[in-house]
Amino acid sequence: MTAKDMSYQGVMGRSDEIVLKAVGIDYDKYELEGVAFDYEKLMADVDYSIEEVCEILNDMEVGNTPLLELKNITKLAAKIGGPGKGARIFIKDEASQPSGSYKARRAALAVYEAKRLGYKGVIAATSGNFGAAVACMAAKLGLKCIIVQECYDSRFVGQPEILEKQRACEALGAEVVQLTVGPELFYEHLRLLEETGFYNASLYVPQAVTGVETLGWEIAHQCREIVGKDPEYVLVTNAGGGNLTGTARGLKKAGAKSKIYAASVDLSGLHMASDKDFNRKSFTTGHTGFGIPYATLPDRTDVSRSAARPMRYIEEYLLVTQGEVFYATEMLASLEGLERGPAGNTSLAAAIALAATLPEDNVIVVQETEYTGAGKHPMPQLTFARQNGVQILFGDPEDEVPGKNIILPSDPTKIKLRYSDMKRLHLSTLKRIATEDREYSEVELLYMADEVNSSVDEVKELLAELF
């Protein structure tokens, strides 16, 4: 028998074949004419109702997390906004999940599917909370688990938050394969999938996103019970897009008309795949280095077609600074007695600024919290930043330059509301789909319209600007 080519080019060249065996999904059957593909058919083929998904997750002790009103932070937002302002801020406390974050929902249905299909183990490529969630769910269902993690720069210096998550994965029984930053992450992931025959517990399979739908479903029903209506706004920290996609779909299934706002830490100027920049950022997720490129080109993942397609649901994209998120983290602890990790506090920082501009009878739900720990806490993060030459200052976050300084607001009024340019994001998304100047069919135009949450006429206008 001829030995398989295990070089980088060889393994990456077999990626479609490896992924097909590792997820059991023939993505080709969802391809439509031209550039279009049938996203809703991909999601519908998960073939569980939202009620059935809730039941599966409940059996795994996942879900049913509390919705908490941040009364003191709301009062502060009202004081900043002035008379009649200060929307009520609620937070969905996902830190109470078995693995400490909402990603327990994302992992539960994917690992359940692996068990149902007869796989002996699961593998996930992730530096974040998803690894701990997959490890946790695999332990519950008696499956083996390998987590492939990009956590070091070339000096083998690890970011504190990633190392914190490595410890969590190992504590939950997973084997953790640690790598330096670079293209070897997906290579090693694919190599292990081929070698073990394990299930690809990807963040981007339809089961993972369907699991998150329960979060949006719960928010709608809990908000109706507590305040008698749907929230006007749901703010979601955005990175790879599955968090926002699943939550938005769950809200829609519950019949909610809430506006979906994405929020990311603005890390403009830092390159996520750069060895030099790897340890000069204090946020390993929920930042523009993932949030923007994955939103505008979702199919850059470890499966053929990503089930995370946030541009279909985003109405506005809000940007916050690193300093503002650290400040919001301390505010949550000091004013509400809730010590939580950094990712969810990205959307909390945006919510504080947004609430100050809205009427006091409006409701904002910050869609998640996560656990905190030795590596996630602001103090080790800021200490690590100093060690990497980043200045820590108090002042106006508008002056923050990612990789050079972190500016904590000198007072709460300095937390600002910043909108990303949605037209630019729509143009960028369409530019990656419509790669040539030609007449696109009605099916293709409908697909593009869905991808950017717009009408066909609006897409035609945008295409006219591109070509």
The confidence band for 29, taking pLDDT boundaries of 50, 70 and 90, is very high
The answer to whether position 452 is within a domain reads: yes
Q: How far apart are CA 394 and CA 73, in angstroms?
A: 21
270 in a structural domain = yes
d(CA 49, CA 214): 11
Burial class (CB in 10 A: 0-12, 13-18, 19+), 419: exposed
451 in the same domain as 386: no
Question: Which of 207, 201, 209, 65 shows the shortest CA–CA distance to 144?
Answer: 201
pLDDT tens-digit map of 151-210:
888 888 888 888 888 889 999 999 999 988 877 888 899 999 999 999 999 999 999 999
**449 plus 331 within the same structural domain:** no
DSSP string, 163-208: HHHHHHHHHTT-EEEEEESSTHHHHHHHHHHHHH--EE--TTSHHH
Q: Are 262 and 233 in contact (CB under 8 A)?
A: no
Query: 363 and 439: one domain?
Result: no
**Helix 378-387 / helix 322-336 crossing angle, nearest 10 deg:** 150
Residue 354 sits in a domain of what CATH number? 3.40.50.1100
Show the tokens assigned to 230. 């749907």
Lowest-pLDDT range, 10-19, 87-96, 342-351? 10-19
Specify whether 322 is located in the same domain as 459: no
The verdict on residue 358 lying in a domain is yes
**C-alpha to C-alpha distance for 77 and 357, rounded to whole angstroms:** 9
Asked if 409 and 446 sit in the same domain, the reply is no
> 121 vs 14, 174, 190, CA distance in Å?
21, 10, 14
First to last CA, the chain: 51
Cβ proximity of 240 and 223 under 8 Å: no
Number of domains in the chain: 2
Q: Is 382 among the domain residues? A: yes
Looking at the fold, whether 405 and 451 belong to one and the same domain comes out as: no
Q: Is pLDDT above 90 for 114?
A: yes
Whether residue 302 is found in the same domain as residue 276: yes
Q: What is the token pair recorded at 362?
A: 């409006």
- pLDDT class of 1 with cuts at 50, 70, 90: low
In 3D, which of 60, 65, 95, 43 has the Cα closest to residue 246?
43
Residues 343 and 459 in one domain: no
CB 233 within 8 A of CB 223: no
393 and 247 belong to one structural domain: yes
Q: Name residue 394's beta-bridge partners.
A: 408
Say how far apart CA 234 and CA 315 lie, in whole Å.
10
Q: Is residue 222 domain-shared with residue 260, that is, in the same domain?
A: yes
Same domain, 398 and 443: no
Mean local confidence (pLDDT), 226-234? 98
Element spanning 32, H or E: none
pLDDT digits (tens, 9 = 90+) for 282-330: 888 899 999 999 999 999 888 889 999 999 999 999 999 999 999 999 9
119 falls within a domain: no
pLDDT at 65: 98
Give me the domain span that covers residue 329: 59-99+212-414
Give a yes or no: residue 135 inside a domain: no
Q: Based on the domain organization, do 330 and 438 belong to the same domain?
A: no
**CB burial class (10 A; 0-12, 13-18, 19+) of residue 27?**
middle
Quick check: is 317 in a domain? yes
Burial of 448 (0-12, 13-18, 19+ CB in 10 A): buried
Q: Is residue 449 part of a domain?
A: yes
